[in-house]
Amino acid sequence: MEKQELLFQIFPRHIREVLKTLWLEPEGLEEIRLRAGAPLFYFYKNREYAADGIRISRGDVEETLQCAVRYSLYAYEEELRQGFLTVQGGHRIGVAGRVVAENGRVRTITPVSSLNVRFSHEIAGCADGVLDLVAGGAEEIKNTLIISPPRCGKTTLLRDLVRQLSNGSRTRRGRRVGLVDERSEIAACFQGVPQNDVGIRTDVLDACPKAEGLMMLIRSMAPEIVAADEIGSTRDLEALRFAMHCGCRILATVHGESLEDVRRKPVLSAMLRGAMFERCLVLGRDRGPGTLLGVFDGKGERMDLREKGERLCG
């Protein structure tokens, strides 16, 4: 099936028809936003556009959500509580609307009035530029933290790092990688099988809470490298420490504008102070998603190895 058609399977038929008339290249499409009573907005090649000829109704939003989860919203209850869900293909849908709370805890969101569909793009080879920084010698792999604001390509970069380290190359032997994919974004598992290429020696724990998942993988799959997306809680930190004591190398990502920004966050600053991470890669979107803003070593010193502002996946 055509790639565009696969992307648009998230939407019900009439919205799909409208999207088809826009002639978008699937690779350039970053986001589509639906809000009840507003036009359909889409982010395409780093710019926002509004689609002509359609105004989104509340029914459209509801129908899109149902279509995206294949009429099985019950199976996404836990995810819905966090405000987003990952659907087939690894695309992530952010959800907003009226929250139904019970004892101060979010029970569900209904009715849903806004959706933000963020498309996941697998870019094989986007980690080429930083691979030598992460895997220094033939044997040595650095504990690496990727820092970036949302929509700047940190998951894409992590996925490709995992793939390349797992596959290995002529000069570098392939490693056993344990991947905890809590939000099903990295490997985009569908019924447990990765849809994205995450390498031939990668074991994926899909939809598993990170801290538990890291422990489980270390006990069961004896990985040489563990990878996780969007770390941040104290439990994550403990699990990563445990992994390190077991001799695993770590690849992780975190939300943040810069190294200073991450240092201000209590849990993460503890990690950085302890020099857990030997490499910090900071991403931005100055020249589109995946712009490398800086590389720092374990002491937080900037490493001037590359031209600043280079785009990894451009």
Partner 1 sequence: MWLRLLGAFLVVVSCTGLGMGAAARLKERRRLLETMKRMVSHLKGEILYANAALPAALSRTGKRGEGVLAEFFCAVADCLESGAGETFAQVWSREAKRVLRRCPLSAAGREALLSFGKNLGYLDREMQEKTIQFYLEELDLEIARLRGEEPEKSRLFFSMGILSGLFLTVILL
Tokens 């036009």: give the residue. Answer: 39
CB of 261 to partner 1, least distance (A): 36
Distance CA 292, CA 309 (A): 5
What 3-state DSSP class applies to 133?
A: helix
Distance CA 255, CA 230 (A): 7
Q: Which of 32, 34, 51, 69 binds partner 1 (CB under 8 A)?
A: 69
CB of 12 to partner 1, least distance (A): 5
Residue 87 or 126: the one with the smaller Cβ distance to partner 1 is 87
Binding of residue 71 to partner 1 (CB under 8 A): yes
CB of 115 to partner 1, least distance (A): 16
Distance CA 310, CA 158 (A): 17
Distance CA 190, CA 76 (A): 13
| Residue type for position 242 | F
What residues numbered 191-230 form the site for partner 1, per CB under 8 A?
A: 191
CB of 63 to partner 1, least distance (A): 8
How many CA atoms, within 13 angstroms, populate the side-chain half-sphere of residue 246? 21
- Distance from first CA to last CA of the chain, Å, rounded? 26
Binding of residue 72 to partner 1 (CB under 8 A): yes
CB of 75 to partner 1, least distance (A): 5
What 3-state DSSP class applies to 230?
A: coil
Residue 13 or 105: the one with the smaller Cβ distance to partner 1 is 13
What residues numbered 108-137 form the site for partner 1, per CB under 8 A?
A: 108
Residue 20 or 264: the one with the smaller Cβ distance to partner 1 is 20
Distance CA 279, CA 163 (A): 18
What residues numbered 245-284 form the site for partner 1, per CB under 8 A?
A: none
Residue 117 or 240: the one with the smaller Cβ distance to partner 1 is 117
Of 18-26, 68-76, 91-99, 211-219, the window that binds partner 1 (rule: CB under 8 A) is 68-76
Closest CA to 252 of 306, 180, 184, 192: 180
Binding of residue 12 to partner 1 (CB under 8 A): yes
CB of 237 to partner 1, least distance (A): 29
Distance CA 246, CA 223 (A): 10
Distance CA 182, CA 211 (A): 10
Closest CA to 126 of 163, 167, 100: 163
Residue 23 or 74: the one with the smaller Cβ distance to partner 1 is 74
What residues numbered 13-52 form the site for partner 1, per CB under 8 A?
A: 13, 16
Residue 87 or 165: the one with the smaller Cβ distance to partner 1 is 87
CB of 109 to partner 1, least distance (A): 12
Tell me whether the omega of the peptide bond preceding residue 12 falls within 30 degrees of 0, making it cis. Answer: no
Binding of residue 63 to partner 1 (CB under 8 A): yes
Those residues with Cβ within 8 angstroms of residue 151's Cβ, 6 or more apart along the chain or in another chain: 30, 31, 118, 285, 289
Q: Which of 2, 47, 74, 139 binds partner 1 (CB under 8 A)?
A: 74
The residue ranges that bind partner 1 (CB under 8 A) are 9, 11-13, 16, 63, 66-67, 69-75, 77, 108, 191
